Homo-oligomer: A and B are copies of this chain.
Amino acid sequence: MTRGTFTIAGGGPVGSLLAIVLARHGYRVGLYEGRPDSRMTNIYQGRSINIALSDRGWHSLQQIGVGPDAKDQAIPMYRRAIHDVDGALSEIPYGKEDQAIWSVSRGGINQQLLDIAEDEPDVETFFEHRLVDVDFETAAALFRLGDTEVTVEADYLFGADGASSKVRRLAHDLPRFSYSQNYMPQSYIELNIPANADGSHRLEKNALHIWPRKDFMLIALPNPDGTFTCTLFMNHSGDPSFESLRERDAVERFFGDNFGDAMDHLEDPVDTFMAKTASPLFLVQVFPWSFNNKVGLIGDAAHAIVPFYGQGMNCGFEDCAELNRLIAQHDHDWTKIFPAYENARKPNGDAIAELSKRNFVEMSDLSGDKRFQLQKKIEAKFHDAHPELWTPLYSMVTFSPEVPYAEALRVGDEQKAVMDRIMQLPDIENTWNEQHVMDRLHELAAARFGDRQ
């Protein structure tokens, strides 16, 4: 006996995980992906694309009951490795000693989750099925497979079809659909650092490398095969920008002046820069996330964010874990599950959108800022002494799955007001380690956060 039938548009990590959730609750699921099966044809063309996964992601997988296999192939990054313009290296840990964010292969985790989904007898996967249309009243969907069109009927449909979601675009014309798409001033291109001949990493493996240059930055995340995937973020227009850097001479100078120490490692950065068109960065926020209690949005389709907090996939996995919880709580009543799902997740999607936008400034500017590093040190010290009063914002977002994003954003803003006052203490650069600084911070923090214990 089946509880009902679902169509899922989009077979990425979130769509695959959602298929597992639904199947384990007794639903029959058709999982439709527009691209070919990446397990058969390497659509990544040998290139490693990695994304960050952290405690929220692992925690959600665990709640859903999907084992930590993925972690075996992930690389923990315990710290930011900050490359000065003169090549000097400094480090800022992400959290406590054993806390890390994880570089995972997007293709790898997708394939693992697809395998697990296909192990469920009630999940059937379909590749190269491009979504053409959705009936938001009946949840019927029309897909194109080569030259033929296939109509798929089901009780419900989820759009898990990513940042440029077709389901979401089809929903535009529904009444009272609020929508925003905002471009960041920055665009990006990907570069590569190859492995050493023996397959080892050419830079420290267990760190996220950042070359913070204020208006632009280069970052590098390690892959298991010894390579690093690098991303250059820079303004679309202005100076310097992807628009202004057109001449080879200027590009060579730009790389040499700004990323001197990386030039020993990067694979043809100037050629790559000249050949590639920079990709835009945008955020999409919509509401509602469900329509007629028949069709829902999940993952990037509901909340496309920018990558600066490394939370995109984590947030999508949390969506799945929330649905997992709500299906049980509301005993399969989707007239209750859809509204409860969007009301629970929308504020958190908005919060991580805001946090990820702000984090460009933190990564590209403040990471290289001595006062910022000092502030981090003071916060870390206070957190160690009074974990009940203070968890740094980064740690709340990254290492505290029990704190919703919206709560992290709110508390983080209050903490910022407190730290602004601490950083104004006279001669804080030299006195930060003295007891009176901790005392003052305790006083301010206890006044704001003390009654929440």
**Which residues of A does B touch, CB under 8 Å?**
175-183, 236, 280, 282, 285
Q: What's the number of copies of this chain in the assembled complex?
A: 2
Contact of A181 among B178, B236, B282 (CB under 8 A): B178
Is A182 a contact partner of B180 (Cβ separation < 8 A)?
A: yes
Is A179 a contact partner of B176 (Cβ separation < 8 A)?
A: no
Which residues of chain B are near A183, meaning CB under 8 Å?
176-178
5 pairs from A and B in contact (CB 8 Å cutoff): A178-B180, A178-B181, A178-B182, A178-B183, A180-B182
Other A-B pairs, 6, CB within 8 Å; known A178-B183, A180-B180: A176-B183, A176-B236, A178-B180, A178-B181, A179-B180, A180-B182
Q: Which 10 A-B pairs have the closest CB atoms?
A: A180-B180, A178-B182, A176-B183, A178-B183, A179-B181, A176-B280, A178-B181, A176-B236, A179-B180, A180-B182
A176 CA to B280 CA in the complex, in Å? Answer: 7
A285 CA to B179 CA in the complex, in Å? Answer: 10
Which residues of chain B are near A181, meaning CB under 8 Å?
178-180
Which residues of chain B are near A180, meaning CB under 8 Å?
178-182, 285
A181 CA to B176 CA in the complex, in Å? Answer: 9
A338: min CB distance to chain B, Å: 14
A236 CA to B288 CA in the complex, in Å? Answer: 14
Which residues of chain B are near A280, meaning CB under 8 Å?
175-176
Which residues of chain B are near A177, meaning CB under 8 Å?
183
A285 CA to B180 CA in the complex, in Å? Answer: 9
Q: Which residue of B has the minimal Cβ distance to A182?
A: B178
A287 CA to B87 CA in the complex, in Å? Answer: 38
A302: min CB distance to chain B, Å: 16
